[in-house]
């Protein structure tokens, strides 16, 4: 009789999986962590699309000039002016709007008084042009005011915002549409909820 020789190879069902090497585990952890950090950074630094992109061109005392792209609509200008109003009501801290303190060291706060002009031409926001306007240069003033797309003014508790140039002597012209005028202690109007867009989150 022939003796049955046992095989040293274990049955397939009893095979054990080899654990992942520590280097492989570390590599996978780094990969997943890097992806999470990149996505998180993109999410936190995403542009605010509820207002038009803008830059602060010049600042002299409490006067600030801002620049929006050419072609910005009046509705978009209104959304930016309304955002300034919201900041004035809720926090009074315009640093989040990229504006340096306009009344530093003032007991009433670093932004007790502020005047923001909105232009869609970068040339009008240059520091030297603002200096000429503040000096009353007749060659600059008329076109400077006519080129304003919007404004926001805050003086202590009084505020005003509008589309077009700032009214002179409290008289608005046909070039100006006043959006609001009152006190920062007045309740803000209820904002309409934005429509839900398609999520681009990979998670």
The reply to whether 105 and 71 lie within a common domain is: yes
Question: Over the chain (203 residues), what is each successive 10-residue block's mean pLDDT?
Answer: 55 58 72 61 51 95 96 96 95 93 93 96 95 93 93 95 85 82 89 49 38
Strands 63-67 vs 113-119: parallel, antiparallel or unpaired: parallel
Residue at 5 is within a domain: no
Quick check: is 3 in a domain?
Answer: no
Same domain, 105 and 150: yes
The per-residue pLDDT for 154 is: 96
- Are 163 and 73 within 8 A, CB to CB? no
Query: What is the structure's pLDDT at 168?
Result: 77
Give the DSSP H or E segment for 3.
none
User: Nearest-CA neighbor of 93 among 66, 115, 111, 118?
Assistant: 111
Domains identified in the chain, total number: 2
**91 plus 38 within the same structural domain:** no
Asked, for residue 157, whether it belongs to a domain, the answer is yes
Same domain as 60, residue 123: yes
Q: What's 92-159 look like in SS3? A: CCHHHHCCCCCCCCCCCCCCCEEEEEEECCHHHHCHHHHHHHHCCCHHHHHHHHHCCCEEEEEECCEE
Task: Taking the CA atoms of 24, 25, 29 and 30 in sequence, report the sign of the dihedral they define.
Answer: negative
Q: Within a domain: residue 108?
A: yes
Same domain, 67 and 164: yes
pLDDT recorded at residue 38: 58
Do 118 and 134 lie in one domain? The reply is yes
For residues 124 and 148, state if they share a domain: yes
Give dist(CA 79, CA 40) in Å, integer: 27
Model pLDDT, residue 93: 92
Residue 15 is predicted with a pLDDT of 55
| Predicted pLDDT at 45 | 41
3-class state of residue 176 by DSSP: coil
Query: Would 1 be classed as within a structural domain?
Result: no
Say whether both 117 and 31 belong to one domain: no
40 and 140 fall within a common domain: no
Q: Which of 64, 126, 48 is nearest to 101 (CA)?
A: 64
How many angstroms separate the Cα of 112 from the Cα of each of 86, 107, 118, 156, 165?
15, 9, 20, 5, 22
Q: Is residue 168 included in any domain, yes or no? A: yes
User: Per the domain annotation, does 135 fall within a domain?
Assistant: yes
Flag whether 188 is in a domain.
no
- Give yes or no: residues 179 and 93 share one domain: yes
| Range of the structural domain that residue 126 is part of | 55-183
In 10 A of CB 180, how many CB atoms?
15
Q: How far apart are CA 120 and CA 52, in angstroms?
A: 11
- Regarding whether 116 and 38 lie in a shared domain, the answer is no
pLDDT at 121: 94
Pair (38, 120) in one structural domain: no
């Amino acid at each position: 009789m022939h003796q049955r020789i046992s095989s040293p190879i274990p049955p397939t069902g009893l095979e054990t999986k080899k654990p992942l090497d520590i280097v492989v585990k570390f590599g996978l952890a780094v990969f997943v962590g890097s992806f999470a950090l990149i996505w998180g950074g993109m999410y936190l630094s995403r542009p605010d699309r509820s207002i038009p992109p803008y830059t602060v061109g010049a600042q002299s005392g409490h006067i600030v000039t801002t620049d929006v792209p050419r072609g910005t609509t009046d509705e978009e200008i209104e959304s930016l002016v309304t955002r300034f109003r919201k900041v004035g009501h809720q926090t009074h801290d315009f640093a989040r709007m990229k504006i340096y303190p306009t009344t530093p060291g003032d007991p009433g706060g670093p932004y007790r008084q502020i005047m923001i002009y909105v232009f869609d031409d970068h040339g009008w926001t240059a520091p030297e042009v603002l200096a000429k306007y503040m000096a009353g240069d007749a060659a600059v003033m008329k076109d400077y005011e006519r080129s304003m797309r919007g404004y926001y003014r805050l003086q202590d508790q009084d505020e005003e915002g509008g589309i077009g140039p700032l009214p002179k002597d409290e008289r608005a012209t046909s070039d100006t549409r006043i959006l609001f005028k009152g006190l920062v202690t007045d309740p803000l109007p209820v904002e309409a909820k934005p429509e839900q867009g398609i999520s681009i989150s990979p998670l």
